[in-house]
Structure 1
């Protein structure tokens, strides 16, 4: 209620000034009308700030739970300077010092073990562990964080559940991801968007027009010898200026960001939410966004004369020494994770030089060798032992490659006999569940989807067709992604980008809406203007819906606010001149009881309609995928016509009650 706090809301400030004027008038010349108008004008100001207060209160409640993550903890900081740590062996075995987490700085390296809280934001540089991020994301299922990929970023305050990881700190205390979340959800960094500023200018222009109109009524009424009391003029002014949308405008923007936070998407600005509502093109990184982060084994293709079980056994054994995600997926596919190794086994680890992994062990006095790897590498190994190629295996390799998959060939050699090919393991990028349906929804919204990948065109086309995207960009470098976004923007389109890797950072920064996955790198999260805490790229559909919902809600309530001025005009203006100019009684279409009750009813309705629309402002108008002209027609019919009809009904109903008050 403080005037200095209302400077950002000139319409409510004008109402408060009017309340002061009518209060003074009521004290100097007490009357039932003056007292009632004064009381309801003060209530109008209070109701006008209620929606924004409720919206901000939600953010503060969410921020309070996040502050629990900021408790100071003890960190095991690895000794040595940044240069020393960059040129040493494994960091987990180096000496550590226990220090408060508040003393950590960018570049420091800490070791975090099971049950320990990660002391600061950073990137995993050694190890792999499951991490409980439920305090940040709300999801109870633990997530895997590991070094050397796009799932290396960790958030301070989350808890390591298993194993041990080494983390390099990426942000100083006070600038962490959680600190930024707290500031944003509390609204302390929320700035008015261009659309909101433009609407404010429109509302101020309308207000200025109505101030001028009401001010000129004073001399006109004096000329007609029907000069109304100041209280009536103030009531007319307050009812004609767009108080409804003026009261709810800020709350609509805050509520839009709040709806995103409740869906585990952190928007760095209200402008990003608005832009999401106007997005024309969506670019998505393939790996980790449309597909899971690594290729997975999906099928086994036995060679002629080879039993599927024999191929499965050999594929599993040859993958036990392969610690790559692809190797682990083969073990998972055949269910051999608990398989006991034979006595005297010798594991052959995968290497980039041989491009194979395998296992050697002795069976009945003969050495049994199993190998799995790239088709050319395994074929060369088989040929070196005197083995023969298999046209059927070659055909399977060609077919899998043509379909965008990756073939791994399995072979075995027993004793002195030549090696033989057992079959092929098919690896492929697995598209996340529900992708095609989500892209169909985006298409219905008029949004074109483009998949971006570094894969060759053959693989990219296969994944694009399976996922259901509209277009793809293959063999894309960071420069290619950036160029594509700029090309689309130069064509007048708004572009959204989803990504999770460091190589996505330039594109995320250039896009109008850059949504970074929380599982991604710190660079990606810094570059985007939104962070999806669930790392679900399909969430962008909800982001777009919320953005459109924000714009539609703002337009709908503006339409309603302007339209309902007509009814208030018909209520107050005839009441002002009814005695001096009886002919104006024809404008009293609502047949209100008296001039005093008409003015009071209009002021009361003007205040109560704000309260009635607070839930709609916070929840937002429901959005259905449709063309812009269809949405516009719907809003005009519902909120334009509704803004005309509802005030007539509401003011008449209030008049029936107000007319019972003595003195009116």
Structure 2
């Protein structure tokens, strides 16, 4: 079975600015970010920069160092460490800068036709519009800001925001009244009430997200910053006590070595990559055309345990499609097919079109000329459609409607056909009857088709520990049939706003993180209550304001990909944090014996790496500390690939790969660098 490619995979395969094109501006930005005021946002890297400054100054004090060439090399590698940590952040920001510049260019000089209190319109700058202002947008003009259509109907091209060139219909009232700023009206006109103040629109939020530097830190990042600062202070105290111990034993440690040792022991790896990880995670979300009102929503998506999904348009295609034909006794397949085709040609509903497509694909047949057919379009009043041809009347429609047309009762339907009709209804499908003149020919099975690959995606979520709940207004019998086919874990049938809200509160009361998607005003209470609420961009203003995520493509299935982005963000940060801390532990035991072996000969038993000298030990550690950041930059930007597994399995995998790997890598890397430095005579 071919599983549908997820939006997340599609986003990762989107054309991106080449790495070479990003490098030059990123390197320039890395130099600009050396400003201590900017580095203050990353306390660990600020300490590294201060250490680099101190080491550079110590190079000019002969009494403070053992070997000036070694001290110079240490200073250079410390500057290299800071520079490439800045480079990682600048590279992450640069991936979205081109799109941000394009979006900014689209709104510069944009004007709007504002309605005054007296009902007249005047030209004003779009940037001056405020919430509640009413503007008129004509064909060919750009919508000046986010808003809601209060009058008119028009086709709107949203390619500037979503990348989708096909225009969509926007009209006043209903669930398709919201419009997004910087989209173009391609037909008719609209009267729009602006719903956001300057700096608060969808476009403004998208620009802020892709620029990266303006992205506020999430609660988890703040907590991790506190941890890193705590570890830095601990190692600062540790390093500060080493000199007294050395002098107590009658030895001495060069100050430049102690400064360098501090840098190797504090968590510089995660400190240098933390910001890049967060910005890259947001970039992946933006490439999915999802706008997050806060980083908290994205991180919460990574912790989601219960996922509520609307059935129509999310789990199923939304329009019922023809799945089979059932003959009445004594009727041939050809006769039933011909009657069903003629009675559906004038049916402009999605169901009617699907019947025509099904029959044409099933068996090509000679279709009469339209000039010889008197079509009868589908009517909501009669619930019938059909055609009159060569003196015969072909009709198709709901069971009761066709029986009324024929003057029959349900008891008069042939038992074989009646059983098939009941079976269709019990399976969650919709049966339609077909007749010619006064003769019942058979039934059509219309089915709300489950999207291909959706069952496999739910299975992946289940392996990640996420329980799926289908929400539908269908009756329990129909809902159960669709739920079983789709493979969801639970369902809410005959759903009302109160039922949705009650279910979310119940799950949250049990300590679970809940996500939901919706587009209607009746979804607003549940979207606001959910930990992660994703609204469709073409939905109501109430839904968009209540949610903390907005999908610009209005694809409800994308909530599954948002969950994966959030989980990938958390896993990446956790993996590199584990690797960094394990690195520090390994470096601590690898370097200290080499530094103190001259003062405490007994430590030779712990000198497992047999490093050449204290100078080579500290320099090798500094070089490894800098290069490991360079090596991990691609992983920080791409994100750790996650496999479908529960939290315990992910933790074991994380500890095995990044914990054990982080513990062993410094022993191997530092020893190899030590051999290289010794062989080249640099120490």
Please, what TM-score do these two structures have when normalized by structure 1?
0.84
Q: 2:413 aligns to what?
A: 390
C-alpha displacement at 1:601, in angstroms?
A: 1.8
Q: 1:450 to 1:189 in 2, by over 3 A?
A: farther
Deviates more, 1:173-182 or 1:428-437: 173-182
Alignment partner of 1:63 is 2:100? yes
For residues 36-60 of structure 1, what are the alpha-carbon distances to aligned partners after superposition, in whole Å with 9 as ceiling and x for unaligned? 2222222222222222221122122
Whether the 8 Å contact between 1:170 and 1:522 is mirrored in structure 2 is no
For residues 194-218 of structure 1, what are the alpha-carbon distances to aligned partners after superposition, in whole Å with 9 as ceiling and x for unaligned? 3323322222222111111122223
Q: 1:168 to 1:370 in 2, by over 3 A?
A: farther
Q: 1:16 aligns to what?
A: 49
Which residue, out of 277, 280, 288, partners 2:302?
Answer: 277
For residues 287-328 of structure 1, what are the alpha-carbon distances to aligned partners after superposition, in whole Å with 9 as ceiling and x for unaligned? 111112333344444544555565556556655665544445
Q: 1:14 to 1:534 in 2, by over 3 A?
A: same
Counterpart mapping for 1:184-199 below 5 A: 184-188=209-213, 190-199=215-224
Deviates more, 1:115-124 or 1:566-575: 115-124
Q: 1:449 to 1:663 in 2, by over 3 A?
A: closer
Which residue, out of 376, 380, 393, partners 2:404?
Answer: 380
Whether the 8 Å contact between 2:483 and 2:491 is mirrored in structure 1 is yes
Alignment partner of 1:478 is 2:515? no
Counterpart mapping for 1:608-647 below 5 A: 608-647=627-666
For residues 12-70 of structure 1, what are the alpha-carbon distances to aligned partners after superposition, in whole Å with 9 as ceiling and x for unaligned? 11122222222222233372233222222222222222222211221223323434543
Q: 1:3 aligns to what?
A: 36
For residues 560-611 of structure 1, what are the alpha-carbon distances to aligned partners after superposition, in whole Å with 9 as ceiling and x for unaligned? 2122224433454345444444444444332222222222222222122111
Task: Determine the C-alpha separation between the residues in 1 that align with 2:94 and 2:505.
Answer: 39
Q: 1:424 to 1:165 in 2, by over 3 A?
A: farther
Q: 1:410 to 1:165 in 2, by over 3 A?
A: farther
Task: Determine the C-alpha separation between the residues in 1 that align with 2:482 and 2:121.
Answer: 46
SS at match of 2:317: coil
Q: 1:188 to 1:504 in 2, by over 3 A?
A: farther
Q: 2:433 aligns to what?
A: 409
SS at match of 1:225: coil
Which residue, out of 271, 289, 303, partners 2:314?
Answer: 289
Task: Determine the C-alpha separation between the residues in 1 that align with 2:354 and 2:109.
Answer: 39
Q: 1:99 to 1:345 in 2, by over 3 A?
A: farther
Which residue, out of 441, 448, 452, partners 1:433?
Answer: 452
Counterpart mapping for 1:317-328 below 5 A: 324-328=349-353
Task: Determine the C-alpha separation between the residues in 2 that align with 1:656 and 1:357.
Answer: 86
C-alpha displacement at 1:557, in angstroms?
A: 1.7
Counterpart mapping for 1:437-448 below 5 A: 437-448=456-467
Whether the 8 Å contact between 1:131 and 1:144 is mirrored in structure 2 is yes
Counterpart mapping for 1:54-133 below 5 A: 54-67=91-104, 69-70=106-107, 106=132, 108=134, 110=136, 113=139, 120-122=145-147, 132-133=157-158
Deviates more, 1:471-480 or 1:649-658: 649-658
Whether the 8 Å contact between 1:516 and 1:525 is mirrored in structure 2 is yes
Which residue, out of 39, 43, 51, partners 2:88?
Answer: 51
Task: Determine the C-alpha separation between the residues in 1 that align with 2:49 and 2:494.
Answer: 61
Alignment partner of 1:206 is 2:231? yes
Q: 1:459 to 1:241 in 2, by over 3 A?
A: same
Q: 2:475 aligns to what?
A: 456
Alignment partner of 1:356 is 2:375? no
Whether the 8 Å contact between 1:109 and 1:168 is mirrored in structure 2 is yes
Task: Determine the C-alpha separation between the residues in 2 that align with 1:221 and 1:28.
Answer: 21
Task: Determine the C-alpha separation between the residues in 2 that align with 1:127 and 1:410.
Answer: 40
Q: 2:547 aligns to what?
A: 528
Task: Determine the C-alpha separation between the residues in 1 that align with 2:368 and 2:133.
Answer: 42
Deviates more, 1:635-644 or 1:526-535: 526-535
Whether the 8 Å contact between 1:284 and 1:450 is mirrored in structure 2 is yes
C-alpha displacement at 1:481, in angstroms?
A: 0.7
Whether the 8 Å contact between 1:16 and 1:42 is mirrored in structure 2 is yes
SS at match of 1:145: strand
Q: 1:489 aligns to what?
A: 508
Whether the 8 Å contact between 1:321 and 1:357 is mirrored in structure 2 is no
Whether the 8 Å contact between 1:150 and 1:501 is mirrored in structure 2 is yes
For residues 75-111 of structure 1, what are the alpha-carbon distances to aligned partners after superposition, in whole Å with 9 as ceiling and x for unaligned? 789x8999x9xxxxxxxxxx99998766777574756
Whether the 8 Å contact between 1:379 and 1:389 is mirrored in structure 2 is no
SS at match of 1:429: strand
SS at match of 2:59: helix
C-alpha displacement at 1:7, in angstroms?
A: 1.9
Deviates more, 1:553-562 or 1:517-526: 517-526
Q: 1:319 to 1:251 in 2, by over 3 A?
A: same
Q: 1:341 to 1:526 in 2, by over 3 A?
A: farther
Deviates more, 1:577-586 or 1:190-199: 577-586
For residues 601-645 of structure 1, what are the alpha-carbon distances to aligned partners after superposition, in whole Å with 9 as ceiling and x for unaligned? 222221221111111111222212223333323322322222222
For residues 220-258 of structure 1, what are the alpha-carbon distances to aligned partners after superposition, in whole Å with 9 as ceiling and x for unaligned? 323233232321221111111111111112222222222
Whether the 8 Å contact between 2:149 and 2:193 is mirrored in structure 1 is no
Please, what TM-score do these two structures have when normalized by structure 2?
0.82
Counterpart mapping for 1:589-604 below 5 A: 589-604=608-623
Q: 1:457 to 1:198 in 2, by over 3 A?
A: same
Q: 1:215 aligns to what?
A: 240
Task: Determine the C-alpha separation between the residues in 2 that align with 1:520 and 1:292.
Answer: 17
Q: 1:325 to 1:100 in 2, by over 3 A?
A: farther
For residues 326-353 of structure 1, what are the alpha-carbon distances to aligned partners after superposition, in whole Å with 9 as ceiling and x for unaligned? 44544555569x98644795856623xx
Give the number of equivalent residue pairs.
Answer: 637
Deviates more, 1:533-542 or 1:220-229: 533-542
C-alpha displacement at 1:488, in angstroms?
A: 0.8
Task: Determine the C-alpha separation between the residues in 2 that align with 1:319 and 1:146.
Answer: 29
